[in-house]
Amino acid sequence: MSKIRMNTELRNKLFNKIKNVFENEDTQEREAFLQARETVDQQYTMASELAKEVVARSYPPEDVSVLRSFKKKYGQPCDVVAKDKCFYFAHNEDLDDDGDIKETKSHFDFGLFGNLNGSEYSDEDGKKFAVAYYREELKAMDCNPDIYAQQSENKDNPHKTKHVDECMKALGKIGSNNYSNSDDTGMAKTFNAPYYLDVIGTSYCRSRAIACTKNEYEQFETWRIAKGNLVTKHQTWIDTIQKQCDQLKIGLKAYRYLSEGIELATELGIQVDEAELIRTNSTGLTIYNPSNLASMIKGMKNKHQSREAKILARKQYEESIN
């Protein structure tokens, strides 16, 4: 039987099948990402409960109730209570270089697209957090939640913009900034809902700082750092996958026959059904030995090792030296 020649369609199918395995392997980077996401959930629970206490100290529920009754009685002039999920928290327990008391203040946004650096007007990092947090849900909707990580060294371009827009639409983000968060739908609306609190004021984010202690402020910072850590761990994990995929693309592009691609998959421990892949024929050049390429890609992984495996590896290393 004549060998089946490679073509673009076959290469793409093989690539996607192998890449899917890369993304689901139990590597150190993937585990760190999943752990970071669990930490975010824990920190959100603690920080949101703390925010309720801090906000209620400045805006007691009984005052909120009175003002709402005034609004019903007098209308718009007394419309000074609103739901908000972002707040300026501040403490006065630090000293400046001259030894005088100084205010330490930052903007904390509990929304899905909330900033990670304390800037009310920062939006991009919030989007990176959102796609990392809902990665599996977005993958299931045929979106690419890894687009920011994959394009981390590239400026905005049509490819990046297309996939980011698809992710934002799938998440339910409405508008181009955080001012329209109350209009968000779907996952974004569900995520944001528990974090809205009653705040007294008339400006966006009720920009007058809400007093808290230094310890409370630091707890809010710990929560926000956890969000940033999720973005970092997502980036690190996708970087490892990207490196493997870059080598995989080079090899598949070079293979002339489908059997070489299937041999590569087999060497990587991935079973491929040739019948699912066969379409039309094409040609190419063979420069990557499947066994060697498989070894190279395997070497890029940081898989978990058992204690016994680590001891064995150490013994083999010492024996090689001796």
Of the candidates 195, 280, 230, the residue with the CA atom closest to the CA atom of residue 39: 230
pLDDT at 41 (0 to 100): 98
Q: Using DSSP, state whether 110 is helix, strand or coil.
A: coil
pTM: 0.81
Residues 106, 207 contacting (CB under 8 angstroms): no
**How confident is residue 3, by pLDDT bands cut at 50, 70 and 90?**
confident
Cα 109 to chain centroid distance, Å, stands at: 16
Residue 151 is given by DSSP the state T
CA–CA distance, 173 with 270 (Å, rounded to integer): 38
Residues 258-306 have pLDDT tens digits of: 999 999 999 999 888 887 776 433 333 333 457 666 766 776 777 665 5
Residues 14-51 have pLDDT tens digits of: 999 999 999 999 999 999 999 999 999 999 999 999 99
Look up residue 250 and give its two tokens. 């080079």
Only one residue has tokens 């007691």, namely: 60
Residue 274 is given by DSSP the state H
Q: What is the mean pLDDT of residues 56-70?
A: 96
Length of the chain: 322
Q: How far is CA 169 from CA 15, 44, 164, 186, 187, in A?
A: 27, 24, 9, 9, 10
CA–CA distance, 161 with 208 (Å, rounded to integer): 35
Rounded to 5 degrees, φ, ψ at 298 are: -60, -35
Q: Where are the beta strands (DSSP E) in 97-196?
A: 101-109
Average pLDDT, the chain: 87
CA–CA distance, 57 with 182 (Å, rounded to integer): 24
pLDDT at 182 (0 to 100): 60
